[in-house]
A and B are shown apart, each in its own frame.
Chain A
Amino acid sequence: MEKTLEKILEEHRAREGNIISLLQDIENSFGYLSEDAVSWFSKKLDIPASRFFGVATFYSQFHFKPRGKNIITACCGTACHVKGSERLINGIRKELDLSEEEDTTKDKEFTLEKVNCIGACSIAPVVMINKKVKGKVSADKLLKELRSLKDIKGEGK
Chain B
Amino acid sequence: MGTGGIAAGGAEVLDAFKKELKLAGIKASVEKNCSLHKVGCRGLCAKDVLVDVIINDEKTTYQFIKSDMVPRIVKEHLIEKTPVTDWAVGEDYHTFHKKQFKIVLSDCGTIDPEDITSYINVRGYDALKKVIFTMSPQETIEVIEKSGLRGRGGAGFPTGWKWKLCRREAEQPRYIICNADEGDPGAFMDRAIIEGNPHSVIEGMIIGAFAIGSHNGYVYIRAEYPLAVERLKKAIKQSRQAGFLGKNILGKKFDFDIKVKLGAGAFVCGESTALMYSIEGKRGMPRPTPPRSVKKGLWGKPTVLNNVETFSNVPYIIRNGADWFASIGTERSKGTKVFALTGKTKNSGLIEVPMGISLREIIYDIGGGIENNKALKAVQTGGPSGGCIPADLLDTPVDFESLAVVGSMMGSGGMVVLDETDCMVNIAKFFLEFTQAESCGKCVPCRIGTKRLLEILSRITKGAGKEGDIELLEKLSKDIRAASLCGLGQTAPNPILSTIKYFRHEYEAHLKGKCPAAVCKELLTYYILEEFCNGCGACLRACPAKAITGEKKKLHNIDPAVCIKCGACFDVCKFKAVAKE
Contact = CB atoms under 8 A, between A and B. Distances in A.
Given A24-B262, A58-B283, A122 B348 contact: yes
B344 A135 contact: no
B4 interface: yes
Interface of A: 17-21, 23-24, 54-55, 58-62, 76-79, 81-83, 87, 90, 115-124, 126, 131-135, 139
A60 B188 contact: no
Give the size range of B's interface with the partner. 35 or more
A79 B342 contact: yes
Contacts of A24: 223, 262, 264
B3 A118 contact: yes
B395 interface: no
Contacts of B348: 79, 121-122
B7 A119 contact: no
B223 A116 contact: no
A87 B278 CA distance: 34
A126 B45 CA distance: 13
Interface string B319-355: 0000000000000000000001111100011100000
A125 to B, nearest CB: 11
A120 B262 CA distance: 19
Given A78-B414, A123-B7, A123-B8, A59 B186 contact: no
A121 B183 contact: no
B194 to A, nearest CB: 10
Contact of A60 (B48, B226, B266, B431): B266
A61 B223 CA distance: 8
A87 B567 contact: yes
A119 B191 contact: yes
Interface of chain A: mostly helix, strand, loop or mixed: mixed
Contacts, number: 131
Nearest to A115: B224
A60 B185 CA distance: 15
Contacts of B291: none
A126 B8 CA distance: 11
A87 B75 CA distance: 43
B416 interface: yes
Interface string B223-264: 111100000000000000000000000000000000001111
B418 A82 contact: yes
B485 interface: no
Contact of A116 (B48, B183, B283): B183
A11 to B, nearest CB: 15
A13 B89 CA distance: 54
B4 A135 contact: yes
A81 B7 contact: no
A116 B342 contact: no
Contact of A123 (B46, B226, B434): B46
29 contacts: A17-B281, A20-B281, A21-B262, A24-B223, A58-B283, A60-B264, A61-B263, A61-B264, A62-B264, A76-B185, A78-B343, A78-B383, A79-B348, A82-B422, A82-B427, A115-B224, A116-B224, A116-B265, A117-B188, A119-B187, A119-B191, A121-B416, A122-B45, A122-B341, A123-B4, A123-B45, A132-B7, A133-B6, A135-B8
B3 A79 contact: no
- Indicate the member of A17, A60, A139 with the most B CB atoms within 10 Å: A60
Contacts of B341: 122
A119 B266 contact: no
